[in-house]
Amino acid sequence: AAEQMSGKDSYDVLVVGDTVLDIACANAAGARSVAVATGPQDIDTLQAAGADVVVRDLSDTAAFLQLLV
């Protein structure tokens, strides 16, 4: 779906979310995922769900932006 909308390879899409459902959606679309552990699930749960990257929060903006390149 992401590939059809943007005309790009789905791996060029980055999904940022805070639930296992967000990670599942990213995986289903073939997109990369960044899970932020500020929502209902903790870091271990988000990692187990298959997130590419898990961060505690987005307070380190520079580190987060490095994930985009």
pLDDT, tens only, 43-52? 999 999 999 9
Instruction: Return the bridge partners of 35, or none.
Output: 17, 54
Task: Output the CA torsion 35→41→43→46 (10° steps).
Answer: -50
Cβ neighbours of residue 2 under 8 Å, at least 6 residues apart? 8, 10, 13, 29, 30, 31
Asked if 19 and 41 touch (Cβ cutoff 8 Å), the reply is yes
Whether 31 shows a pLDDT value over 80: the answer reads yes
Whether 5 shows a pLDDT value over 60: the answer reads no
Q: What's residue 11's pLDDT?
A: 66
Q: What's residue 63's pLDDT?
A: 77
17-31, 38-52, 53-67: least confident range: 53-67
Helix or strand holding residue 10 (H, E): none
Whether 35 shows a pLDDT value over 70: the answer reads yes
